[in-house]
Amino acid sequence: MDLLTQQLPTENGDFQTWFLKTEQNFANFTAEASTWLSISLFKVNETPVTTLGLFRMIIILGLAWWISGFVSQFLGRYIESKGEKDLSGVYTVSRLIHYGILGLGLFIALSSIGLDLSNLALVAGALSLGIGFGLQSIVNNFVSGLILLFERNIKIGNFIEIANGTTGVVKEINVRTTLINTNDNIDIIVPNSELVGSSVINWTLREAVRRTHIPFGVAYGSDKDLVKQAVLEAAEIVPYTYKGHKNRGPQVWLIEFGDSSLNFELIVWIKPEMVKRPAAVHAAYMWEIESALHKHNIEIPFPQRDLHLKSGFQNLFKKDMEPI
């Protein structure tokens, strides 16, 4: 008992010493950290930007990015759960909310480091300086992306054809670029300014039902009525033929007298789900047209040339063959 009583003051003294040292070390660390965080890194319009201010700005921007993503996803899921079928509209709203929250976060972040954003001349000067140093392309593509979202002439899910002939489905409209996925499952990244500044064919902007032309040829002398009958039968067999409108039935047109054939076209309206697969549609109709023409013994010609010999040619040939 006496031994325990003698040890208590010693143990209490050691603990107090450790506590005081820890407290002193923490105070020293806090003072050094405060000094380090108060270092002025640079100045913006005579306003010093410290290390602490820079960290605070990064944290605010990170929170704004996370909140914008969370709100956009929540809004998209909520609208879809309510039966909203226009997914492009949901995407547009979510993108605008994303940009709005990021813009607000940027405003708060810049204010947190002491910048007076009420001075619009300063902001305009900074923007013009950035654009002058090579941001023209980025700004142009960003503004073009906003134009695409607001005008909605090109929407998520549309099947489009751009100026170089590339076709595909619009998957994303981002800050700088638009993502297009082709029928070969190839992702193509197109700058937004290219979609705004050049001609774009949108195959599914309003009505997805489209008419396609399938060219083919038959030999001269073929019965035109039989050709028409055979090809219309072929069109009925193909499951892609649209039959929902009485004025949009298949037609066969004689369009040209070719060098070796009578050239026709099958004019047929195709179902909405096949508008995005033009190559498969063309192949299916060509397959059935060939089968129908073969069934009705209608000749499919190939290029050929006829040689006509004038009178006297044979005598000239014999003369050349006589021995000298």
Write out the DSSP string of 269-321. Answer: EE-GGGTT-HHHHHHHHHHHHHHHHHHTT-----------PPTTHHHHHHHHH
Other Cβ atoms within 10 Å of 50 Cβ, number = 17
pLDDT of the residue at 100 = 81
- Which CATH code for domain 210-295? 3.30.70.100
For 107, 130, 281, the CA distances from 116, given in Å and listed in that order, are 10, 19, 61
Question: Closest by alpha carbon to 66, among 39, 103, 101, 23?
Answer: 101
Q: What would the pLDDT profile of 63-101 be if each residue is shown by its tens digit?
A: 888 888 787 777 767 666 655 555 666 666 777 777 788
Structure tokens at 211: 């008419």
Q: What would the pLDDT profile of 234-281 be if each residue is shown by its tens digit?
A: 999 999 999 877 788 899 999 999 888 999 999 999 998 888 889 999
Tokens 């142009």 identify what position? 140
Q: Where are the domains of the chain?
A: 47-118, 159-202, 210-295
- Which CATH code for domain 159-202? 2.30.30.60
Q: What would the pLDDT profile of 122-173 be if each residue is shown by its tens digit?
A: 555 665 655 555 567 777 888 888 888 888 888 888 999 998 889 999 988 8
Structure tokens at 14: 């050691």
In angstroms, rounded to a whole number, what is the distance separating the alpha carbons of residues 188 and 166?
A: 9
Q: What would the pLDDT profile of 12-57 be if each residue is shown by its tens digit?
A: 556 667 666 676 666 666 666 566 655 555 565 566 666 776 777 7
Question: Closest by alpha carbon to 275, among 198, 181, 207?
Answer: 207
Best-predicted range by mean pLDDT among 76-85, 99-108, 306-315?
Answer: 99-108
